[in-house]
Structure 1
Amino acid sequence: MDKVVFLADKIQWDQPSTSPLRDAILLCLDKSLDAAALCYLNYLWERRNDLAVIHPWMQEARNELLAMDKENSSGLTGLKKGLSD
C-alpha cells in the first residue's frame, strides 16, 4: 500500500502543472510498482548534485530496489525511457 500512495503522489500532485515524471512513471507502472518507484528514485539520483539534501531513506530505498532488480534480473533499471526527455 505504501508504494501505491507514494506513486499516486508522484503522478497526481497538488501543483497547477502536470508532474514532469508522470508519463515515465506510468510507463514503468506497466512493469510493476517497484519499477515505477525505481523510475522516480533514479530520476532524483541522477539530479542529486542539484538537490539541497539527499534523504538517507531515499538512497536506501533505491539501493534496495536495485539489489532486488539484480537478484531477480527483472530489468527494472532498464526502464529509463522518458526520464531524459
Structure 2
Amino acid sequence: MPEQLNLDCFGDPQYYHQPIKEIQEKWKLVPAFLKIKGLVKQHIDSFNYFINVEIKKIVEANNKVTCDADPLFYIK
C-alpha cells in the first residue's frame, strides 16, 4: 500500500505553489484529492465546467455549429 500523504500542510498557503517533482510524490496526492473532492464531485464539476464555459467558447469560436446528421439542427 502506498505511503499516505501528510494532510497537515494543506491548510498552510505556503505549500500551495511548491512543485512536486517526483512521480511517486504526485501519486501520494490522489488519496488526499479523493478525500477532499471525491471522485463523483470531480466528474460533476468537470461536466458543469464544460457546459457553462467550454460550450460557450466553442460556439463563440465558430459562428455556426451544425449537426452532421441533420443540417437543420444548429447552434448559432
Q: TM-score normalised by the shorter chain: which range applies?
A: under 0.3
- Structure number with greater CO (CA < 8 Å, separation at least 6) is 1
Structure number, greater radius of gyration: 2
Q: Normalising by structure 1, what TM-score?
A: 0.24
Q: Normalising by structure 2, what TM-score?
A: 0.26
Which structure has greater strand proportion?
2
